[in-house]
Amino acid sequence: MNRAKLEALISAAVTFFSVLLIVAFAIGVSSQGALKGPDAFVLRWTVISLMVAFSALVAWVRWKFFQVPRLSSTATPIVAASRPAAALRSSSDILAASRQAIVFRQHFPPPHRDSALSFFGGAPVAPGGFRWPRPEGAGAQSKPFSFLMQIDCSEVPPPARLGMLPDRGVLYFFHDLTWGQQDAFRVLYEEGEDRDWRRIEPPDDLGHAFGDQAKFVWQWTQSADDCPRLLPKWTFQPIALEITPDAYDPHDRETPDAPFLWPGEKLVAGALRRAQGEDVPGTWFSVRDSIDEAGGLRRPFANYPHDWRAVQICSGLLLHRTRHSPPSTHALRELTASGRAALVAAISDEAKGWFDRARSHSPFDAVPDRESDEFWSWLADKPWLVRFVITDALNISVEASLSESREAAARIPTLVARRVHSRHALAIESENGLFARTPDRMLAPPVDVQGHQWDRAKTHLLLLELSSNEGLGHHFGEGVYQFWITPADLRARRFDKVELTADAY
């Protein structure tokens, strides 16, 4: 129990006993002995019960209406008169950010416009002369950072900039995804007026996303050479949503200097649904889509596998499965130990053959019909194994094609593409109602996963918060990356002063 709540409870208890004594004294003086004697038993207990009830009511009123003031639409922070003007302004800025969030509504499917300046992943688009950031110094630690995203400030609704975010130019976020030092990052700002904007080619020494852990993140890959250096590109539109005062739990506001924290998905799900702007059904792929009533394998769509990357992904996932956790199914239990080993080895060899064949082609070229049918026939022959990887294979390959190019995306049927839309939506409609997860966002209340950011959230704005998202290639584990900046530094565009924290649930 926090201090404010304890003080209110003590005050209510004192009120109860004080009122009880006063009422008892008044009744004792005025009753003139009417409550004495055996004949007054019922009357005496009736009066005592009413005394207790009245005292409890007064104490409850004291508890309910005279504890620490709660948040309201007109509430202002209680500050000491001696606080400097800069501190007062900072508190006002942080309070303003607690009433909104800038979220990122992904374009689905991506339009692949060269003019887009707000997107996750890919390679940055910036004015000529832009330098891809890297750590200072030499050696392995000087390898360039991975590009996370960029935000066109002019696309942020003006009121949501809070008079602090620039009204033009682009913010860039880079980070060391090798799970090394958490402070290995850069936030850059380019105003870019009257300058040519172009795609910035990755440096030759840019490593694989997630470094030495890349093969564990991209489980379909077979070597470091198969792992991507750039995260998948998904364009978005910044959308401002309002967080109403009643979204906050009153109990969380009972400590006078408590920071405003993200109120939770259930309380803001409606706002996220409105920010999404369209109904997105939760019709994601499941194993039931690929296995028929007889236990056979059902082809997901007519031209699957639609490109050579899809062949790589499915065969690579099968290789991973046979190496690390071959299923114990009825089809294998009927075999001897040596027979099971021989069958698994044969399937692994065949999967490796398909993977190598796909690797010899450009990954997003279409697979000829004959070879597409041949690969599917090979899969259909072993539904007892393919059922364990087909859902992941579909999600990953469909998203890869949608994000790659207009030509690759055109091979995905519209109804199939919709099946992965829920992995990129702010809110989805499911059979259990509206569902929304914690969105990536900026200039908004933060989450405080382990209680480590309680004090920081009182003095800093949340410039950006990112969580794990498989569809975006954000394999961050069970945690969040949070970029922080003071209101004064944001106004002065001192993005070199940004701080990064990483916490896990």
Q: Is 255 in the same domain as 295?
A: no
Specify if 92 maps to a domain.
no
Question: Residue 392 sits in which domain range?
Answer: 287-419
Instruction: Examine the domain organization and report whether 192 and 229 are in the same domain.
Output: yes
Note whether residue 199 is domain-resident. Answer: yes
State whether residue 483 is helix, strand or coil.
Answer: strand
The C-alpha atoms of residue 108 and residue 417 are separated, in whole angstroms, by: 9
Torsion sign (Cα): 336, 338, 342, 344: positive
Same structural domain, 311 and 208:
no
- Residue 70 placed within a domain: no
For residues 150 and 153, what is the distance between their CA atoms, to the nearest angstrom?
9
Domain count, the chain: 3
pTM exceeds 0.95, yes or no: no
Residue 452 inside a domain? The answer is yes
pLDDT at 40: 58
Same domain, 250 and 111: yes
The SS3 assignment for 463 reads: strand
Question: What percentage of the chain's residues is helix, strand, coil (to nearest 5)?
Answer: 45, 15, 40
Q: Does 468 reside within a domain?
A: yes
- My answer on whether 152 and 203 are in the same domain is yes
Q: What is the reported pLDDT for 23?
A: 63
Do 342 and 395 reside in the same domain of the chain?
yes
Between CA 417 and CA 306 the distance in angstroms is 13
* Interatomic CA distance for residues 238 and 227, integer angstroms: 30
Question: According to the model, what pLDDT value does residue 67 have?
Answer: 40
Question: Quick one: 204 and 238 in the same domain?
Answer: yes
- In-domain check, residue 89: no
Of 419, 452, 477, the position where a domain reaches its end is 419
As a whole number of angstroms, the distance between CA 123 and CA 238 comes to 19
- Please report the pLDDT score of residue 80 as a whole number: 36
Closest-CA residue to 296 (of 376, 397, 392)? 376
Flag whether 424 is in a domain.
Answer: no
Residues 179 and 308 placed together within one structural domain of the fold: no
Identify the CATH number of the domain in which residue 444 sits: 2.30.320.10
Residue that terminates a domain, selected from 49, 65, 81:
65
pLDDT at 248: 83
Can you tell me the distance from the alpha carbon of 309 to that of 311, in angstroms, rounded to the nearest whole number? Answer: 5
pLDDT by residue for the chain (505 residues), tens only, comes to: 444 455 556 666 766 777 667 766 666 656 656 666 655 555 666 667 777 777 777 666 555 544 433 333 333 333 333 456 666 677 899 999 999 999 999 999 999 988 899 999 999 999 988 999 998 765 556 789 999 999 999 999 999 999 999 999 999 999 998 865 656 899 999 997 767 899 999 999 999 999 888 998 999 999 999 999 999 999 999 999 999 888 887 777 678 788 999 997 778 999 999 999 999 988 888 888 888 888 899 999 999 999 999 999 999 999 999 988 777 666 677 788 888 889 989 999 999 999 999 999 999 999 999 999 999 999 999 999 999 999 999 999 999 999 999 999 999 999 999 999 999 999 998 888 899 989 999 999 999 988 889 999 999 999 999 999 999 999 988 789 999 999 999 999 999 999 999 888 7
Q: What's the confidence (pLDDT) of residue 3?
A: 41
* In a shared domain, residues 338 and 473: no
Mark whether 258 and 119 lie in a shared domain.
yes
Please indicate, yes or no, whether residues 246 and 299 belong to a single structural domain of this protein. Answer: no
Write b or e for each residue in 43-57: b if 16 or more Cβ atoms lie within 10 A of its Cβ, otherwise e.
ebeebeeebeeebee
End-to-end CA distance of the chain: 23
Residue 106's Cβ-side half-sphere holds a number of Cα atoms within 13 Å equal to: 26
Closest alpha carbon to 231 in 124, 144, 116, 348: 124
Count of other CB atoms within 10 angstroms of residue 433: 8
- Is 366 within a domain? yes
Nearest to 458 by CA among 187, 93, 74: 93
Residues 297 and 367 grouped into a single domain: yes
The rounded distance, in Å, linking the Cα atoms of 73 and 370 is 65
The DSSP secondary-structure symbol of 155 reads G
